[in-house]
Structure 1
Amino acid sequence: MVTDTVRRDVAIAAPIERVWAALTEDKHVQEWFGEEAEIDLRPGGAIVFGWTAYGRNHGVVEAVEPPHRFSYWWARPSDTDPAPGNRTLVEFTLSEQDGGTLLRVVESGFSTLTEGKEQAVQDNTQGWQQELDELRAYLEA
């Protein structure tokens, strides 16, 4: 049975407002999450993340609650629009902790994918490990 959720908690030595900006503003996101980012920061707004090696992933903003919660649906595979059967939900939850920020990332919905469920879990588990390490390095530099 495929797990439905990938989760990671990361302590970041940066104020919550800086972490929020790094998650939601194009100019910051493209510094740690691929080479391209376009975010229309409102529920229903479009998102595009681009990687030279993987193509462009399209998404739709689900929730925006500054500076504590941001979520979006995104499609798998690249270059497709999110729809039932090809999308997962990514949720960022931020809380202040020890003068910095605790960031929790939960990606869910893998069990609803119509194909490639196991590969998606594996890819995104490794992907979030790498990308969130890059986010922490970016913010703590």
Structure 2
Amino acid sequence: MDSIEREVEINAPIDRVWGLVTEPGWWIGDGGADEQQRRQEGELHIVEHAKYGTFALKIEKTDPRKYISYRWIGGYPDPDGDSTLVEFSLQEREGGTLLKVVESGFDSLNKTPDERKQAVEGNYEGWKFQLNVAKERAEQG
């Protein structure tokens, strides 16, 4: 399995959800944005989390209010290390926004098959948690 897909209906305007998903690395951690320190190094966005470590992200493509993708780079500070592509798609719905995430590229990770399987399984559950965090944050305003 090379990719993960998850989605959530959010009872909030698309502009509010867009503001959230355009924060590089908002999904890293246990749900509190205050748990992170962020900085930029050229085109890389660096997210430091005391519990989970340091991650590098590169914005790959944006289509305002509709789509943003990030290259989630493992092995920071090596920008050529393992990475997955994280894509967020937004669709305006009556009364809110549909937020979809697709993370792909697990098959190309420099890991054993068992490690890749664990990464997919862990991130599958992680995205369920993080989309609920996004829903809560966006609905609170």
Question: Normalised by the shorter chain, which TM-score bucket?
Answer: 0.7 to 0.9
TM-score scaled by structure 2?
A: 0.81
Tell me the equivalent position of 2:129: 130
The runs of 4+ residues in structure 1 deviating greater than 3 Å are: 29-34, 37-40, 79-82
Question: For the Cα contact (< 8 Å) 2:37–2:49, is it kept in 1?
Answer: no
Give the aligned length.
133
Tell me the equivalent position of 1:12: 10
TM-score scaled by structure 1?
A: 0.81
Following superposition, the deviation at residue 76 of structure 1 comes to 2.7
1:99 pairs with 2:95: yes
| Alignment CA distance shift 1:93-1:80 (3 Å) | same
Equivalent residue of 2:135, what SS? helix
Question: For the Cα contact (< 8 Å) 1:25–1:39, is it kept in 2?
Answer: no
Equivalent residue of 1:126, what SS? helix
| Alignment CA distance shift 1:124-1:23 (3 Å) | same
Q: 2:63 aligns with which of 56, 60, 65?
A: 65
CA RMSD of aligned residues (A): 2.5
Q: Percent identity?
A: 38
Question: For the Cα contact (< 8 Å) 1:94–1:102, is it kept in 2?
Answer: yes
Following superposition, the deviation at residue 46 of structure 1 comes to 1.6
Gap regions ≥5 residues in structure 2:
none
Distance 2:107 2:72 in 1: 15
Distance 2:39 2:127 in 1: 19
Q: Deviations over 1:97-124 (max 9, x none)?
A: 1221001100000011111311211221
Gap regions ≥5 residues in structure 1:
none
Question: For the Cα contact (< 8 Å) 1:10–1:132, is it kept in 2?
Answer: yes
Question: For the Cα contact (< 8 Å) 1:73–1:82, is it kept in 2?
Answer: no
